[in-house]
Amino acid sequence: MTLSRPLHLILMLLLAIAVAGCSSTGGRKKGGGYYKDDGPDANPPSNLDQVPDAVPRIEPYASGANRPYVVFGQRYVPDTSGQPYKQRGIASWYGKKFHGNSTSIGESYDMYAMTAAHTTLPIPSYARVTSLVNGKTIVVRVNDRGPFHSDRIMDLSYVAAYKLGIIGPGSGQVVVESIPQEEIRRLASQGAPAAPTPEPASATGSLPVMAPVASMPVALTAEPLPESTPAPGSAPVRQAPASGIGSVYLQVGAFSQPANAQSLVARINSQLSTAGAPPAQVEQSNNLYRVKIGPYPDRQSALNAVPLVSDRIGILPSIASQ
């Protein structure tokens, strides 16, 4: 029996919606990088290469986001047992259409933060993602659910996909490996690495954790931007100083939005107020707002402060020399 034209159109529309569904923050067409009017901003920041990896830290799991759930008739059970997770598959990304929308954990999605969506990894948690095409490795914070396609294992933020080299093709073969809390504690006890870990030559060898939505030491070589007027009661935003001054800081965050940086500064300063540590402050460099603690008189003093700072604020800082 031939379907009437209106009924046929309705069925086609329902099929299109089902194919489009990807995560709580968006969908993507089957073979591309983004769906319909999603994609990158018209004028993305020029310094995406400098956005640091997520900083693995111990965080309590969000109760609501870790309950079993059903999407498109498929039941998913998030695993909060702490068991290791390592899987090979296809990663895709989502961008401007969902920028600012709420993620599964209730946070605002920032396409320029190193985050990702996964169907069953704990929220929040951290994962190492390695491209099987070019060997690049990144660290992301999982704060959303998706993608709900049988052929994909992770949805990356725009900047995470950019750093992994899959913005153009829209998706790529990757290995996703969870970073267990035991490893995060060990890193915190050992102190932050002195410099960014070089990218591995291939994806088959041992993959180091890159310390660092918080911090990896980044060379600040951009020209200072004009001084901005801070909001009443907020920490002042200072410009990135020229290299060679010799001051040493602990970097604990890097954000595309100044309000997020100011919020972290307020929290850190309240937690460190009785610890005798230097205050946290916001430093503006290009389109990033970096949260740093310091200055310390020398590198060793900053390294000695890492365990205390990490224990008080729950973030593993990295050394940022200027």
pLDDT tens digits along 186-216: 877 765 443 333 333 322 222 222 223 332 2
Say which amino acid occupies 312.
R
Residue/partner pairs of 191-196 with CB below 8 Å, 24 or more apart: 191/303, 191/306, 191/307, 192/250, 192/303, 192/306, 192/316, 192/317, 192/318, 192/319, 193/318, 193/319, 194/319
212 domain residue, yes or no? no
Instruction: Judge contact between 74 and 200, C-beta under 8 A.
Output: no
Q: Are residues 186 and 244 in the same domain?
A: no
Does a structural domain hold residue 221? no
Mean per-residue pLDDT for 245-269? 81
In a domain, 262, yes or no: yes
In a domain, 98, yes or no: yes
Phi, then psi, of 120 in degrees rounded to 5? -130, -10
* Per-residue DSSP letter, 177: E
Residue 2 is assigned to a structural domain of this protein: no
For residue 138, being part of any structural domain is answered with: yes
> DSSP character for 140?
E
Last residue of a domain, one of 135, 168, 190: 190
Judgement on whether residues 43 and 136 belong to the same structural domain of the protein: yes
Q: Is residue 44 part of a domain?
A: yes
Judging by DSSP bridges, how do beta strands 86-94 and 154-157 pair with one another? Answer: parallel
**CATH classification of the domain holding 119:** 2.40.40.10
**pLDDT given at position 37:** 57
Is residue 21 scored above 70 in pLDDT? no
Count: domains in the chain: 2
Q: What is the pTM of this model?
A: 0.53
* 164 shares its domain with 288: no
Q: Is residue 205 part of a domain?
A: no
Closest residue by Cα to residue 62 from 147, 180, 143, 156: 143
Per the structure, the complete domain to which residue 174 belongs is given by 24-190
Compute the C-alpha angle 39/45/51, nearest 5°: 100
One domain for residues 317 and 174 = no
More confident residue, 152 or 322: 152
Residues 258 and 165 in one domain: no
